[in-house]
Structure 1
Amino acid sequence: MIFKKLCLEDKKKIDKYISPYKFLSCEYSFTSLFIWKEACDVQYSVYKNALILKKKDFDGNYYFMQPVGYTKENLGMIIEKLKVYRGKNDMKYLFKDLEESFIEELNVLLNGKNKFCIEEDRDNFDYLYEAKKLMTFSGKKLHSKKNHYNAFTKNYNYKVVEINDKRVINDVIFAAKKWYEETHEKDIKLYYEFLAIRDLVNNMSLLNLKGVAVYVDGKVAAFSIGESLSEKLAVIHIEKGDKNINGIYSFIAKTLIDKCFNNAEIINREQDLGIEGLRKSKMSYYPLKLEKKFTASIIF
């Protein structure tokens, strides 16, 4: 089994496998794979007419995502092939980023034979929200978000523009670089996030992305980028703002959906990676559901 490093030119090939499936997880989109291609060393192969994706996590452990395009008849053969590869390459996990539906199929395939240790991966659960509530901040629970939104609109001289021309793209990259350089903790994930932002804004059209930037007094104060994964589901890949501007995050969260994804029913705002502040922030928008993900390790 030979793996190839993922690149932009692979989009059409990868989409051919992924597009027929209605994943709720953000992991199974070409954009998600592409923007973390360096951080997670994303590679792929095709075996038994199924797409095999290999990544590494932020602890440096390589693993397979769930195969895409397998059949009930060949899933067992695919798993056996991946087990052999794992053994030869000393991989800690066999699988990560598994959806609950795949776990169910895996349990049927195993027929009660306890060959895997399957565990929830809480740090990588996706946060799913009702789109209408994020567009309106309706209800008592989101009243504070509405207050923050209103405070921003009343107190700042702002302008909202779509990220679709070279000037705005350059302004977004400049702001992202500035915010990264101002962080006191030089977390490698933040560096890779900056690289991801640069790749996204330079390929908005090719990746079928939509995004907006908010200018305050002529400078980018926030920006957000997402894509439609289906008629009902949109995923927000990037959301960044100047933390010194009161209400900017509530404003950008609502504005992107208003302008770009107002036909969506569900908004996936991705995972919190176990970062306490990020988890608190995502929970404060009161998700409709946490989309679970699982790991599967071999038991010897």
Structure 2
Amino acid sequence: MIEFRPLELKDNIVFQKYLSEYQFKTYEYSFLNLYLWRKYCNVQYAIVDDALIIKKNEGDAGTYFMQPIGFKDENLKDIISILLEIKKDNKDMLFLLGDIEETFLKKLLKIYGEKLIYTEDIKKFDYIYEAKKLINFTGEKLRKRKLQYNQFKNAYDFEIKDIHDKKVIEDCIYFSEKWFNTQENKDNQITFELEGIKDILTNLQFFNAIGMAVYINNNIAGFTIGEKVNKEMAVIHIEKGDITYKGIYAFINRIFAKKYLNDIVYINREEDVGIEGIRRAKLAYDPVKLEKKYLINIQ
């Protein structure tokens, strides 16, 4: 019987072994991301035939397995068979696999053909941007963001501080709580997000995290946390700003890319979770592509 265990901080060693060469095009498989949402998504993992298997719950999609990590091609069908047996005993598993990228989907199609049933998980498509465009605000589509950035830069006496400073960490926790308290709809997602952010900030040494905070007149006005998952792609996991400062998000976006991600080709700003306002905001930064993710069943 396969034993799945809840994700803990100490498991970063296990995940580092399997994800040391991050080859995914989406952000889902990052240890930082999985730990950030571990309670909201009930993230668990097990090792099956020397492959890392992650299990999580995503609301309407129910509980599913993510792509096996570190599998050998000759063992993949056996691993999938084991996961299918587990699914039979779990009625809340509407899908066998989720957060699946196109490369792995094609591999499964070669094995299972018409037995493979898949659907695009549109609200979870990742927004991918060219780092240089976000740094330089090149192109007509980014003209408004450039104006917002300049508006902020010219209006406020600001200072940038690195996220790893102890006082900055304390300020970011304070800011996160303050931001949470201003939200009218304190649903489960942002409640768990707040707890996850505080956990990440308190235990930064366990993560491959980079980040910064923006101060205006010595008061924190916003912060962001991301990571470089490989030589080509970085992911923005957390971004919070005080919108009473006009242009704060355009400023955070550009300065973080310029200061920390100038050697990266692509910046992944994650999904829009099906919320129209988030979709509009992400499209406004002119993504180069939306990286698809799929939900899968096997008959």
Q: TM-score range by the shorter chain?
A: over 0.9
Query: Structure 1 stretch 126-135 or stretch 182-191: which is displaced more?
Result: 182-191
Q: Which runs of 5+ in 2 are unaligned?
A: none
In the alignment, what sits opposite 2:34? Answer: 33
Letter in 1 for 2:45: Y
Amino acid at match of 1:216: I
Q: Which range is displaced more, 13-22 or 68-77?
A: 13-22
Secondary structure of residue in 1 paired with 2:170 = helix
Check if 1:185 corresponds to 2:185.
yes
Question: Cα offset for 1:60?
Answer: 7.3
Please say if 1:175 is aligned against 2:171.
no
1:76 corresponding residue in structure 2? 77
| Cα offsets for 1:99-143 (capped at 9, x unmatched) | 100000000011x3x223200001111111000010111121111
Aligned to 1:47: 48
- Residue 6 (structure 2) pairs with residue 8 (structure 1): no
TM-score between the two structures when normalised by the length of structure 2: 0.96
Q: Which of 102, 127, 143 is equivalent to 2:104?
A: 102
C-alpha change, 1:251 and 1:21, in structure 2 (3 Å) is: closer
TM-score (norm 1): 0.96
* Residue number in structure 2 paired with 1:17: 18
Q: How does 1:148-227 map to 2 (within 5 A)?
A: 148-227=148-227
Shift of 1:59: 3.6
Name whichever of 126-135 and 165-174 sits farther off.
Answer: 165-174
Residues 204 and 210, structure 1, Cα contact 8 Å, conserved in 2:
no
Structure 1: distance between partners of 2:105 and 2:297? 12
Unpaired segments ≥5 residues, structure 1: none
Q: Distance in 2 between matches of 1:206 and 1:48?
A: 26
What code does the residue aligned with 2:34 have? L
| Residue type of the alignment partner of 1:290 | L
- SS at 2:185 equivalent: coil
The code of the aligned residue for 1:88 comes to D
Q: State which drifts further: 152-161 or 56-65.
A: 56-65
Shift of 1:159: 1.1
**2:274 aligned partner:** 274
Q: Percent identity?
A: 43
Say if 2:162 and 2:212, in contact at 8 Å, map to a contact too: yes
Between the aligned partners of 2:123 and 2:140, the Cα distance in structure 1 is: 28
Query: What is the alpha-carbon distance in structure 1 between the residues aligned to residue 221 and residue 22 of structure 2?
Result: 36
Measure, in 1, the Cα distance between the counterparts of 2:218 and 2:256.
19
CA distance in 2, matches of 1:19, 1:94: 26
Shift of 1:21: 4.1
User: 2:135 corresponds to which residue?
Assistant: 135
The separation in 1 between residues aligned to 2:149 and 2:279, in whole angstroms, is: 20
1:254 to partner: Cα distance: 0.6
Q: Which residue of 1 aligns with 2:257?
A: 257
How far apart are the structure 2 equivalents of 1:221 and 1:74? 51
Partners of 1:203 and 1:55 in 2: how far apart?
Answer: 22
Aligned residues: 297
Report SS of the residue matched to 1:89: coil
1:101 partner letter: T
Shift of the alpha carbon at 1:24?
1.2
Distance 1:60 1:198 in 2: 27
Task: Give structure 1 regions of 4+ aligned residues with deviation exceeding 6 angstroms.
Answer: none
